[in-house]
Each structure stands twice: as C-alpha cells, then as structure tokens.
Amino acid sequence: MIPTLELAQAAAALAKTGGARVARHIFLCCMSEKQACCSREAGVEAWGYLKKRLRELDLVGSAVQRTKADCLQICASGPIAVVWPDQVWYHSCSPAVLERIIQEHLIGGVPVEDFRLRAAP
C-alpha cells in the first residue's frame, strides 16, 4: 500500500505539471544509453529546443506534456518522437522539424506528414 503522504505528493505533482488536463503528450527519444538513433549532440539539441519552445509558448501543463525517452526502439533516423494519444511517430526531429510538429500538430492538430514515420508493410 502506498503511504498517504506519498500519494498526496504524487497528486500535488500531477496538479503542478497539469498532466491531468493535457491533450497531447510528446515523447522524444534523444539521449539513450545506446545512442543508436542519433548522435548525442543532435539529441541534446533537440531536447533543449523542445523544452524551451513548449515553455515559451506556454503549452507545458496546459495543452502538452513532454517526456525525454531513453529508447523508443526505433534505432535509426532520429531523434525519434511519438505524439499520444494520436499515435503519430516522427523521424529526424531536428529543431526545425520539432517547430513544425509543435505548430502544426501539437497546436494545430494536424500531423506533419513530411516527417511522419509509418510502419513498413
């Protein structure tokens, strides 16, 4: 059983992050132990950009949540991102691509087809 104090702390953290009211969640695989999908430098740059832009646009905790993933098991053409609950995967997530994903998908609701990753037939 989880102690009441710990549960209260978790509930307070959820309220603080706004996680209960976000519409979309973007996971970015950018700095894994394997570092197979992209270079560490590209991953660090992508993650830093995503965090900065979502804060600048005041989206974190109101409309969007973001998570740095260790590995999304797509070990090529990274950084890789996935947006939930839309189940849309993206490849080559440089800052320029992330800006399009933010504007067109996270804000506008329309996936960026140019960088969408689809499963092979």
What pLDDT tens digit does each residue of the chain (121 aa) get?
667 888 899 888 888 877 778 889 999 998 777 778 888 899 999 999 999 999 999 998 788 999 999 889 998 999 999 999 999 999 999 999 999 999 999 999 999 999 999 999 9
Which DSSP category does 105 fall into? Answer: I
Distance separating alpha carbons of residues 54 and 106, to the nearest angstrom: 10
Q: Extract the tokens encoding 78.
A: 């990274």
Pairing of strands 64-69, 24-29: parallel
Mapping DSSP onto H, E and C, the string for 24-55 reads EEEEEECCCCCCCCCCHHHHHHHHHHHHHHHH
What's the predicted TM-score (pTM) here? Answer: 0.89
